[in-house]
Amino acid sequence: MKRLFFAITLVISLLPTQSLAVTESPTPSPTASNSPTVGSSPSPTATKSATPTKKPTTTKKPSSTKKAAPSPSAKWPPKGFKVMDDVYWRTPSVETMMNVAAGDAALTRAIKVCKEFSCGRIQVASVLGCVYWEIESRVVSPNPDAAGSFLTMGMLRTLVKSTAGKEIATIVLRSGVAYSPTVAVVPTAIVCHQNQTTERVPSNTYVGR
């Protein structure tokens, strides 16, 4: 089975930033357009010349046309992403999540669930494209008996639908743990599958300890 696989090192000091808490839906901020401005060049004007009989005649200058410059290609690799084995990923900000959700009804519904359950978030992309994605995450909370350490509450396995090459997927990692500001969902492994599966996609499977 051909697939792209890598593990993400768990950085305990960054765990609190992994949770996605949604208490209200802020208005997405507008983004600047990168599309080039297309303008037409002035058309050549007619000029008049005088003849000995003073009969006005009109001569036209040969028209010249300029070829439109091709549109710039999409920037790749995506800015701010980490990469390994042609797979790109990053933890997006909550603002980025809301901006993407403004045009994605399914993502909007997924974010609303995070009012009830503790969630994580991630964006992934692949050079080749994926038949489906598999993301493994660890759900953790602070250890009350040892400052600076964390307890594993359970494991989360998330399956995500196919993406084309260089297409960015924005994903909510919904755990089965009730929402708490101290609970974090930390991705530990990402797999870009190149073959079909009989499992239900998309899906979240949480197994508590």
Report the candidate in 178, 180, 164 with the shortest Cα–Cα distance to residue 16: 180
Burial 47-62 (b: 16+ CB within 10 A, else e): eeeeeeeeeeeeeeee
Tokens of 98: 């809301």
Per-position pLDDT tens, the chain of length 209: 445 554 444 333 334 444 565 433 333 333 333 322 222 233 333 333 344 445 555 555 555 555 545 444 457 888 999 999 899 999 999 999 999 999 899 999 999 999 999 999 999 999 999 999 999 999 999 999 998 899 999 999 999 999 999 999 999 999 999 999 999 999 999 999 999 999 999 999 999 98
CA distances from 163 to 14, 117, 131, 160, 169 (A): 28, 26, 7, 9, 7
| 32, 26, 188, 86 alpha-carbon torsion, rounded to 10° | -20
Strand partners, 207: 155
**CB–CB of 78/125 below 8 Å?**
yes
Listed by start position, the domains of the chain span 3-21+80-208
Count of positions (residues) in the chain: 209
Name the pairing type of β-strands 3-7 and 47-49.
unpaired
Give the integer Cα–Cα distance in Å for 113 and 30: 25
Work out the burial of residue 42: count CB atoms within 10 Å of its CB; fewer than 13 is exposed, 13-18 middle, 19 or more buried: exposed
Q: Which of 38, 52, 56, 178 is nearest to 113 (CA)?
A: 178
CA 197 to mean position of chain CA atoms: 24
* 172 vs 112: CA distance, rounded Å: 10
